[in-house]
Structure 1
Amino acid sequence: MCVGHCSRCVGMALIPVAIVCMVANVLLLFPDMKSQYLTERHVTREAMWCSGIWASGLLVLVAARGFATHYEKTGCCYFTAEVLRKLGYTCLAIVAAGLCFVVSGIGLTLGPLCLHNGTEGLKWERPLKQVKSGEILYLYDPERWASACVEPRGVVIWNTVLFSVLMAASGLELVFCALHLLTAALEFMFGPGFCKNKVVPA
């Protein structure tokens, strides 16, 4: 069955990407590799939501396991049930990866939470987020990075890199799952011989 081979390939490809998402989200919880910021809740809410751990991480791993599982049975009813099962796992992975992609994008856009020396003195806030519409996003103005945060050190680069990794990894998961969804849908519509390209003798 074409969808079975495609599912196993997608499942194997999703495993390392899901692990990357989990590791990146865990690192986001520990700026400057210290636990005090997490215990004091001085970590961005997008990192605290842990979408890279449970969504594009664990849920995608569940879907990947479902993709890789194959039962040696035959028959029209089994074929339909198997394709529908794969479609269900694909939809689960797409929703999970899409959620992580959106949350990571928000976290990247708003910038890090850090101790900022503003007009009111030292205060924990997100000094790099856009205040006015049309204002240049801090990602395109790296000169602001060094002076934005007093503590944790290097948190701007830390958040930028890790949220970018999360977006890239969850985006890759979306591409894999979208291709698999297309393959499964076509096989569901055209039957088990969709990918075999058999030549029928005259």
Structure 2
Amino acid sequence: MCTGKCSKFIGISLFPFSIICIIANILLLFPGFGVEAIQDAGSRMTPEVLYLGGIIGGGFLVLIPAIHILATGQRKNCCNNRCGMFLSIIFAAIGLVGAVYALTVSAFGMVYGPVCEFRNSTGALVWGQIFKDNIKNFSNESYLFNKDLWQLCEKPDNVAVFNISLFSIVLTASAIEIILCVVQVVNGLAGCLCGTCQKK
């Protein structure tokens, strides 16, 4: 495949995944589809959500490079040359950093679990990350693999499922973004050395 066409394909492919990351992270700001966590000045918000891995990392840090990478793939465009391909390597690297950030934050968000209301050892209702406090290792004892533990979170409703689902979406989308950005780095290098096939 021509390096220019490959850039166009990668640029177009990055758009939906960055939008998915942004939407999933925005939804995470409303645990259980409620607004109580936001209204409470964010003190009941899962910290990993506030790191905005999906919005900043997998979202805008990928979306902006996607625009340049797409422009690199256009035939009649000032970016469709060796210099444009070189710049696409830099933009792909920025996108790669953003996607890695999103993947890392979402992985920690899944492993540590949501902030929720639960009963402590004395039976009193408290807010915190019960699964993070009780974490030992990523094994069958983790709440991710034991649905019975999800009921420990009393409020917001079904917050464990909500947290796992949306962080999984961000994690998957950012993993695909990483692959696409790495491919574009290789493609951009090939475009720098061999040209963009713009005369074909």
Q: What TM-score results when the alignment is normalised by the length of structure 1?
A: 0.86
The structural deviation recorded for 1:137 is: 1.3
Identify the residue that residue 142 of structure 1 maps to in structure 2.
147
Identity within the alignment, % = 28
Question: What is the RMSD of the two structures over their aligned residues, measured on CA atoms?
Answer: 2.4
Identify the residue that residue 116 of structure 1 maps to in structure 2.
118
CA distance in 2, matches of 1:92, 1:134: 30
Preserved contact between residue 94 and residue 177 of structure 1 (Cα < 8 Å): yes
Q: Give the alignment of 1:154-193 within 5 angstroms.
A: 154-189=158-193, 191-192=194-195
Identify the residue that residue 55 of structure 1 maps to in structure 2.
57
The structural deviation recorded for 1:68 is: 1.4
Identify the residue that residue 45 of structure 1 maps to in structure 2.
47
CA distance in 2, matches of 1:43, 1:171: 25
CA distance in 2, matches of 1:117, 1:69: 54
- Give secondary structure in 1 for the equivalent of 2:154: coil
- Measured against aligned partners, the alpha-carbon deviations of 1:119-152 in whole angstroms (never above 9, x if no partner) come to 2411111112244357621111111112x11110
Q: 1:195 to 1:174 in 2, by over 3 A?
A: farther
Identify the residue that residue 13 of structure 2 maps to in structure 1.
13
CA distance in 1, matches of 2:178, 2:86: 19
- Give secondary structure in 1 for the equivalent of 2:5: helix
Larger Rg: 1
Q: Give the alignment of 1:87-106 within 5 angstroms.
A: 87-106=89-108
CA distance in 1, matches of 2:107, 2:82: 37
Which runs of no fewer than 5 residues in structure 2 stay unpaired?
Answer: none
The structural deviation recorded for 1:7 is: 1.4
Preserved contact between residue 112 and residue 156 of structure 1 (Cα < 8 Å): yes
CA distance in 2, matches of 1:61, 1:180: 14
- Give the total of aligned pairs: 192
- Measured against aligned partners, the alpha-carbon deviations of 1:1-57 in whole angstroms (never above 9, x if no partner) come to 933221111111111111111110001000122222123121111111111012211
CA distance in 2, matches of 1:132, 1:179: 36
Preserved contact between residue 116 and residue 127 of structure 1 (Cα < 8 Å): yes
Q: 1:4 to 1:134 in 2, by over 3 A?
A: closer
Preserved contact between residue 111 and residue 138 of structure 2 (Cα < 8 Å): no
Deviates more, 1:51-60 or 1:99-108: 51-60
